[in-house]
Amino acid sequence: MDSINKTTALEILMQDAEKIYKLINSQKEHLCFANCPAFEDVVDTQMYGFSREVDYAVKLGIISKEEGHKILSDLESSLNAMYTNYFDQSKNDSADKGV
């Protein structure tokens, strides 16, 4: 079995994080996750799987525990910002309609 260097492993990890960012950002642009109930399940599954990847990378010494926490925290912050923006917009739309 060939040995994989830390740089390559970190690049792979960051590519997987980027896939989740793209998923979140596509929903930010369309704000359609309220109409797509599966979105939350998909994101939860992706985040869980990615957290396992990060945990494995920490155990292998590819990244530090702090780096892993930062990567996951950034993803979670992006997701929370999307939900906040959606609910703020929904609240404003309801106020504009007099609901």
Is residue 32 very low, low, confident or very high in pLDDT (cuts 50, 70, 90)?
low
Q: How does pLDDT run across 76-93, given as a tens digit for each residue? A: 898 888 778 777 776 776
Phi-psi region for residue 36, left (φ > 0), alpha (ψ -120 to 50) or beta? beta
Rounded Cα–Cα distance for residues 16 and 84 (Å): 24
- pTM score, whole prediction: 0.74
